[in-house]
Amino acid sequence: MSYSITDYERPSVAVDAAVFGVDDRKSSTMDEKVLKILLIKRGEEPFKDMYALPGGFLQKNETAEEAVSRELAEEAGVTGSKLIPLRVFSGEGRDPRGWIISAAFISLTNTVTLSTECQSDAAEAVWMDFRYEINGSLERIIISKDETVLEILAENGSVIKNDFPFDHGTIIYEAFKKLQDEVRYHDIIFDLMPELFTVSDLHGPYQMILQKEESMQAFRKRMSPKIEETDEYDDTTAAHRKSKLYRRKLLKEE
């Protein structure tokens, strides 16, 4: 039996990216690192003016990885970030425009300065604070900036409240759960750090992402095989005593 591509209906294919970063939160008494997520304000319908994940449609002869890299550059000015495939989202009715499936990625970067190209369908790109809480079987993600507060609730692993357009609340939830696994088992926390960092810079995001309380002393001891001390100090902190800067220890090739 011969095959013809016209014998089958075909969906449109899009890409979406859950982009996480770590940024400084400074006050007169303390400095801390906080987790951020990159969102865009939609400039077109559907869901015009709502905050959503950056993304868009594949162009002809383009791979999903090439498409998500292009969209991140166009909508947010983000280039060269680490990409981790998440999964394909293909639920019925996920997009009011029709049969559209999305290949979703996690992207990790420093909280770089954002920009949006004039031809992009995004109105603007912003970094927002990301907070995760868990209470028994109920998980809560709060994403906020100034007066804007967006919430995702999940129970027993399924999203039951989504303040985002499309199924982006589910994508964000699954992306964060994947980030937790990558931090726990593959030391991906370093991809959220600049080249040089303090142990405290690592400690705060690590505890927040994994919801794990661990003393600084115990954390420093556990991380010591993976980091190496430099001769430099952090001169941006408000603390009287400057902190030693470290870098990730490169594994020796066998």
pLDDT of residue 232: 93
pLDDT of residue 126: 94
pLDDT of residue 26: 61
Enter the tokens of residue 150.
């967006």
**Residues 40, 53: contact at Cβ < 8 Å?**
yes
Domain ranges of the chain: 12-186, 188-248
Q: Check whether 237 has a pLDDT greater than 90.
A: no
Please report, to the nearest 10 degrees, the dihedral formed by the alpha carbons of residues 228, 230, 233, 236 taken in order: -60
For the chain, the residue count is: 254
pLDDT band of 67, cuts 50, 70, 90: very high
**Residues 145, 124: contact at Cβ < 8 Å?**
no
pLDDT of residue 253: 46
pLDDT band of 139, cuts 50, 70, 90: very high
* CATH code, residues 12-186: 3.90.79.10
Which entry of 9, 75, 92, 124 is annotated as an active-site residue? 124
Q: Measure Cα distances from 49 to 52, 113, 123, 181 in Å.
A: 9, 21, 8, 33
**Burial class of residue 55 in the structure, from the number of CB atoms within 10 Å of its CB (0-12 exposed, 13-18 middle, 19+ buried):** buried
Q: Check whether 70 has a pLDDT greater than 90.
A: yes
Contacts of 142 (CB under 8 A, 6+ apart): 129, 130, 131, 132, 133, 149, 150, 151
| pLDDT tens-digit series, residues 11-62 | 999 999 999 998 877 654 556 778 999 999 999 999 999 999 999 999 999 9
Please report, to the nearest 10 degrees, the dihedral formed by the alpha carbons of residues 63, 176, 123, 92 taken in order: 70
Q: Which residue has the tokens 């030391």?
A: 187
Question: Does 213 qualify as catalytic in the annotation?
Answer: no
Contacts of 165 (CB under 8 A, 6+ apart): 42, 46, 47, 50, 52
pLDDT band of 231, cuts 50, 70, 90: very high
pLDDT band of 109, cuts 50, 70, 90: confident
Averaged pLDDT for residues 134-148: 95
| pLDDT tens-digit series, residues 56-66 | 999 999 999 99
Contacts of 7 (CB under 8 A, 6+ apart): none
pLDDT of residue 254: 38
Q: What is the DSSP letter of 60?
A: T
CA distance 169 to 116: 23
Q: Give the fold, CATH level 3, of 188-248.
A: Arc Repressor Mutant, subunit A (1.10.10)
Nearest to 100 by CA among 52, 61, 164, 56: 56
Q: Check whether 215 has a pLDDT greater than 60.
A: yes
- Asked, colleague to colleague, whether 12-186 and 188-248 share their fold, the answer is no
Q: Check whether 76 has a pLDDT greater than 70.
A: yes
